[in-house]
Amino acid sequence: MMGGSEQELVDEWHGLLSLHATVHNALEQELQAQHGLSVSEFEALELLTSSEHGKCRGQDLTQAVHLSQSAASRLVARLERGGLVERVMCDLDRRGIFVILTDEGHKRYSDAKPTHRSVLARTLRGEN
């Protein structure tokens, strides 16, 4: 039998999981419906927008969007097919690949950002 503090800890964990699911599902639904973007695609565009010169190493993008390397590679391929990013080889390290935000990617991110922030405000803070 768990003690009170241990049960509170488990309850807090379950509450966090529930909140994450609520926020993620609301983001997924509204970003997809209004902008044709998944949460992971939006997060990738946001990282690139905030990166120096709108580019980052593929490896850094993988870590930032919390996906496996293969899932992140598929994500970048989808964004590239949509004209939102380009992949280029690193001049210094021929094995390294940079992901670069295109003008269309920047526009799509800018259009989707208010939706993203609105969903966060509503689901995390109860704001309308």
Single-letter amino acid, residue 37: L
Look at 90 and 60; give whichever has higher pLDDT: 60
Q: Determine phi and psi for 56, rounding to 5 degrees.
A: -155, 165
Burial call 2-22: b when 16+ CB within 10 Å, e when fewer: eeeeeeeeeeeeeeeeeeeee
pLDDT at residue 128, rounded to an integer = 73
Please give the mean pLDDT across all residues of the chain.
Answer: 91
pLDDT tens by residue, 39-73: 999 999 999 999 988 888 888 888 888 888 899 99
